[in-house]
Chains A and B, each alone.
Chain A
Amino acid sequence: MINPTEYLPKSYHTRVSTYWWLTRWPYLKFILREASSVFVAWIVIVTLLQIQALSRGPADYAEFQNWLRNPLVLLLNVVSFFFVVFHAVTWFNLAPKAMAIRLRGNRLPNLAISGPNYIAWVVISAAVAWILLRG
């Protein structure tokens, strides 16, 4: 039997550029979404530093607050805020795709799944703000 691929290269791999994700907006959006995780980690690190400063006493905590006023830290936090909001919006919009819920044979509309996520986001954010800002 003649192998039709005998005279063809055994494997043919096109070389994909390291910067393939810069070529199209959906690709770039994908990589930005992936990159948001770095800023998520940064926010957790800041929170851990905050808990540590809080435990050590008022002087350490005041120093931590000063550090947050450092222009570089502020800049990083502004960028992080945009990335984490980007993460939240893309995450909630993906929820209907991850959970395809069917009711009486019909798929629930996307808004029925992403909507409650957005409502929870608003309610939880308001609750956290209320606890920290009251009195």
Chain B
Amino acid sequence: MHKRSNEPFLWLLFSAGGVVAALLLPIHLFLFGLAFPLGWLDAPSYEKLLAIARLPVTRIYLFVLCSLPLFHWAHRFRFTLYDGLQIKHLNELINIFCYGGAVVGTAVAAYLLWTIP
């Protein structure tokens, strides 16, 4: 019996995460990571941000924004180590670190978004 490969499923997560990372992360990083800290634009108030973050639709949005790009990272980083640095003997460990990291990150995201007061 041929063992069924997980690769198509992992590739799907990688691909979906790549789309989400490309469409959503640049504007988020630009605003929160550069424009607001450097004072180029006025940051929204704490109350306003919390009000937005409380909305169920924002929680789902942020969950997708955090989870899928982590699986994208897991897949790419795994092959960066594999092809780029040719660390092939640690394959098992690398897979656990990468996909495990994405699963843990997803769980943390779910917990944090669930517990927004």
Chain A residues in the interface with B (C-beta under 8 A): 16, 18, 21, 31, 34-38, 40-41, 43-48, 50-52, 54-55, 58, 61-62, 65, 68-69, 74, 77-78, 80-81, 84-85, 87-88, 91-92, 98, 117, 120-121, 124-125, 128-129, 131-133, 135
Extra contacts, 6 of them, besides A34-B80, A48-B109, A84-B22 (Cβ < 8 A), are A38-B80, A41-B101, A54-B46, A77-B34, A81-B29, A87-B22
Chain B residues in the interface with A (C-beta under 8 A): 15, 17-19, 21-34, 36-38, 41-44, 46, 48-50, 52-53, 62, 65-66, 69-70, 72-73, 75-77, 79-80, 83-86, 101, 105, 108-109, 112-113, 115-117
Chain A residues near B115: list those with CB within 8 A. Answer: 55
CB < 8 Å A-B pair total = 151
Residue of B nearest to A59 (CB): B46
Q: Is the CB–CB distance between B23 and A50 below 8 Å? A: no
Q: Is the CB–CB distance between A84 and B21 below 8 Å? A: yes
A16, chain B: closest CB distance, angstroms: 7
Nearest 5 A-B pairs (CB), nearest first? A37-B76, A77-B33, A88-B22, A125-B27, A41-B73
Among B25, B36, B49, B80, the most chain A Cβ lie within 10 Å of the Cβ of: B25
Q: Is the CB–CB distance between B23 and A84 below 8 Å? A: no
A96, chain B: closest CB distance, angstroms: 14
Q: Is the CB–CB distance between B33 and A91 below 8 Å? A: no
Q: Is the CB–CB distance between B26 and A38 below 8 Å? A: no
B30, chain A: closest CB distance, angstroms: 6
Q: A48-B105, A74-B38 are in contact. Are A131 and B117 (CB under 8 A)?
A: no
Residue of B nearest to A127 (CB): B27
A73, chain B: closest CB distance, angstroms: 8
Q: Is the CB–CB distance between B37 and A40 below 8 Å? A: no
Q: A91-B18, A91-B22 are in contact. Are A40 and B73 (CB under 8 A)?
A: yes
Q: A34-B76, A37-B80, A80-B33 are in contact. Are A133 and B44 (CB under 8 A)?
A: yes
Residue of A nearest to B108 (CB): A48
Q: Is the CB–CB distance between A124 and B27 below 8 Å? A: yes
Given the complex of chains A and B, what is the CA–CA distance between A81 and B37 in angstroms? Answer: 14
Chain A residues near B24: list those with CB within 8 A. Answer: 124, 128
B21, chain A: closest CB distance, angstroms: 5
Among B22, B38, B70, B80, the most chain A Cβ lie within 10 Å of the Cβ of: B22
B3, chain A: closest CB distance, angstroms: 25
